[in-house]
Structure 1
Amino acid sequence: MKQIMKLGAVLSLAAALAACSSVQSGNQANNGNNTNTHGELTVVKSPEKKPTQEVIVERIHRFEGASMDKWLSDDQVQLMYTKLVKQATATEEAKFEYHTASVDLSNNEQKSAEEPVKNIQSIQKEQPSPDGKYVFIQQWKDKYTARNFIKEISTGTTTEIKGSNYLENGGWLNDTTYVLAAGSMNGLGDIRQITVDGNVTLLKLDDPALGDQPFVNFGVGQGRIYYTDDNQSLKQFTPDDPKPAELVKHAITFQVSPDGKHLAVEIQKQAGKAGSELRIFDSNGSAEGLSIAKGDLIPYIAWSPDSSKLAAALYTENQSGMNGVYIFDSATGKVSPIGPSYFPQYPLSWNPSGTRLGVTVAGKDDMPVTHIIDFQ
């Protein structure tokens, strides 16, 4: 699995461990009595209201030499292990071997695959429909092209979708329709509306601000399709209306929540300068509060499957700024740092219930190290 972002040694990430706070229980009242043996009045205080809890880390699992591959269930994860076979020389690149292993996080037992992975680029990505009855599958033959399938969970029936694609940008429009920005080696590429029976319809988009390059940012949810144009404006359109509406200016990237009700948007604070902030909007672009995070870089953001939490990786050159991985709790509005000051090298990955988060960082000699964080 190819690393998506690496900053190199010039970015020193020596920051202190971020504390994970917990709520202490208050002192209990004495047996409910309001008098003592001397006849004096004893004042019994009412129990104090507990403050809203921050996100609390229960445990961190650490796996050396491993990167996140995919979740198999809430408790089981598949990791990709990297082994250095031959050191790099002045004339040859380093050689590596790869193999997968499934890990049961309830007891940390591992079961390695019998055969090594021969083609690291040949991977499969899966996106379940909102109701969980179907899965959209992409099988990447190499790093440029993929075959697509729809699988019905109850029957196991798999239908191949006509046409290959060059991007993995897409999402479920509703329970039975998937929208894919297929990309192209020679332009913007098609926007395909795919129903679960395998039928494909090409969608129209009338936007002069789009050039002839494939979509950099593309998302789908709750009947709406989102993208950023060449001017970094976040826009929205529907299959029935090819004229887009502009929602947010200066958008660097965004993520649609799985329930389609919220947009997490990274906004550039000042054109031409480093620095951005992360804000939450509703599905029509109305702000839901102020900035929840600020940094020089926000390389990864990821909603939990139930849309209750948002994980974000941040880097700020000033070490007193926000550095590491933070969790935004949409119910309380609180933002909590988790674990050490991680700087992930791969996308953040939630388990199906949103109780665990996988974070892969660079370890010794740039080998991957995966931390899986359990939340209370």
Structure 2
Amino acid sequence: MNKKLDSYGQKNGLPQLEHPYACFFRHKVIGLLMTGLIAVGLLSGCSIKSAGETHPSSGMKPGQKLTVIDMDAARQQVSDELVVQSIDRLGDVYARSWLSDEELIVERRNQLWIHNVKTSQERVLTPSRNALQLLAVVSPDQRHVFFTEGSASSKYDIQGYILELSSSKVTSVGQLDMTNEVSWGDENHLITGTPDGKIHLIGLDGKAEQLSFQDPNRSELIAHVEKVSNAIFYTGHDKQGYPVLNRFTLNHPQVVTVAERIMSFAVSPDGKSIAIEKRKWNTSEPARMIILDEQGKEKGSVGQGTLMSRGSWSSDGTKLAFSIYDEDQQGMRGLYVFDQSTGKTTPVTTDIQSYDSPTVWSPSARFLSMYQNISEGGKQLNQSYIVEFKKK
């Protein structure tokens, strides 16, 4: 059980907020040397923008080309490279989820706002609601938003809701357990695990359906679940209690283990690629970000480090974003994007090394957002970043 709690804490620990219960909620509700396939791309013109000032990022000069390592894809033309146009910094907010390439849902002082990245104008997501709002996730078709609210009277009282954007109708999905993540399984269903080893699909009407599956090593906690078509992926455990990636389908409930000794996973939208963070327990070896095919066969390693975030796929499944912190000063540090179409891993910036917060793509993969807690002037501050990539 300690292994499970440690794994959950690494991936879902978040910075402290103003409200005394909000930090507790966030910790529980949301959710932690290049080899083989790695080839480092071109980082051009990347900068952090705040209050009209620009600062070189990652120790690179504008237009400077990094060393290209191995692989045939390294011979691609510069026009095929992933190039950063800008990185904007938003203070005192948590970037949550994208409504479009122009609008990002952010949380500011326990309320959800829609932030326009082009005009910087904001409006409240749900003007008529006053409870502490903590999390927002937009559905794949951008028609609904799942969001959570907390209660000032009880730190255990977390309620989930589905907002229909066209009508502003809000549907309750009931009380949620704070140790389990909730995500969109498809445009009409949420999916979540439970503390007693169950998996639920939740419809737009707020009603939950318990899925049937056969896992001989079913544990008492299933923290992370993903649904791709009719396949369900989740973090399970082997007979020794070590985490594994399991899969079953809605038609065939017998569980199959896809990968062992994983810390986290992310399945591409088409289900053909799986990014896992693999770690050897009781050793000093770094964790590795590995890409698997749909059968669990390793395609290659795209990064490694002491701590890394869960990978995040773009909607077209071509790009994987992840951040790394490495104790080795010469190791991989910062935010990276792996591009399956070129086979290259591009360093975006070393200013972002938050391994315990989600990285989220905009619908077209033009923008990427994430947040981290920073120390500035002796104070701990919330900091969100919006990365914009140049159009090819």
More off after superposition, 69-78 vs 296-305: 69-78
What aligned pairs does 1:119-158 form with structure 2 within 5 A after superposition? 120=132, 122-128=133-139, 130-132=140-142, 136-141=146-151, 144-150=156-162, 158=170
For 1:155 and 1:118, the matched residues in 2 are separated by 19
TM-score under structure 1 length normalisation: 0.71
Asked if 1:17 corresponds to 2:59, the answer is yes
Amino acid at match of 2:258: L
Shift of 1:16: 4.4
What aligned pairs does 1:290-369 form with structure 2 within 5 A after superposition? 290-344=300-354, 346-361=357-372, 362-364=374-376, 365-369=379-383
For 2:95 and 2:81, the matched residues in 1 are separated by 26
Q: After superposition, what is the alpha-carbon deviation per residue over 1:98-155, rounded to whole angstroms, capped at 9, x for unaligned?
A: 6766543224456699x9x9865x3342341x45555555445576444344555666
Asked if 1:244 corresponds to 2:252, the answer is no
Note closer, same or farther for the CA distance 1:163–1:320 as it changes in structure 2 (3 Å cut): closer
Shift of 1:279: 1.1
Structure 1 portions without partners, runs of 5+? 8-14, 24-47, 83-97
For 1:49 and 1:286, the matched residues in 2 are separated by 26
Amino acid at match of 2:212: K
Equivalent in 56, 59, 80 of residue 83 of structure 2: 56
Equivalent in 289, 308, 321 of residue 278 of structure 1: 289
**Is the CA contact 2:137–2:183 (under 8 Å) kept in the aligned structure 1?**
no
Shift of 1:299: 2.8
For 2:106 and 2:181, the matched residues in 1 are separated by 23
Q: For residue 389 of structure 2, what is the aligned residue in structure 1?
A: 375
Q: After superposition, what is the alpha-carbon deviation per residue over 1:300-343, rounded to whole angstroms, capped at 9, x for unaligned?
A: 42222332211111011111110000001121111000123421
What secondary structure sits across from 2:80 in the alignment? coil
TM-score under structure 2 length normalisation: 0.68
Larger Rg: 1
**Is the CA contact 2:148–2:161 (under 8 Å) kept in the aligned structure 1?**
yes
Amino acid at match of 1:73: S
Q: For residue 201 of structure 1, what is the aligned residue in structure 2?
A: 209
For 2:197 and 2:181, the matched residues in 1 are separated by 12
CA RMSD of aligned residues (A): 3.7
For 1:201 and 1:302, the matched residues in 2 are separated by 27
Shift of 1:190: 3.2
Shift of 1:57: 0.8
What secondary structure sits across from 2:254 in the alignment? strand
Q: After superposition, what is the alpha-carbon deviation per residue over 1:158-177, rounded to whole angstroms, capped at 9, x for unaligned?
A: 54446644444344444544
The structure whose residues are more often helix, as a share, is 2
Q: For residue 279 of structure 2, what is the aligned residue in structure 1?
A: 268
Asked if 1:105 corresponds to 2:117, the answer is yes
Shift of 1:224: 1.0
**Is the CA contact 2:191–2:227 (under 8 Å) kept in the aligned structure 1?**
yes
What secondary structure sits across from 1:284 in the alignment? coil
For 2:146 and 2:107, the matched residues in 1 are separated by 22
Structure 2 portions without partners, runs of 5+? 1-16, 18-22, 33-56, 66-74
Percent of aligned pairs with the same residue?
A: 24
Asked if 1:259 corresponds to 2:270, the answer is yes
Note closer, same or farther for the CA distance 1:211–1:293 as it changes in structure 2 (3 Å cut): same
Shift of 1:232: 1.6
Larger RCO: Structure 1 or Structure 2 (Cα < 8 Å, ≥ 6 residues apart)? 2
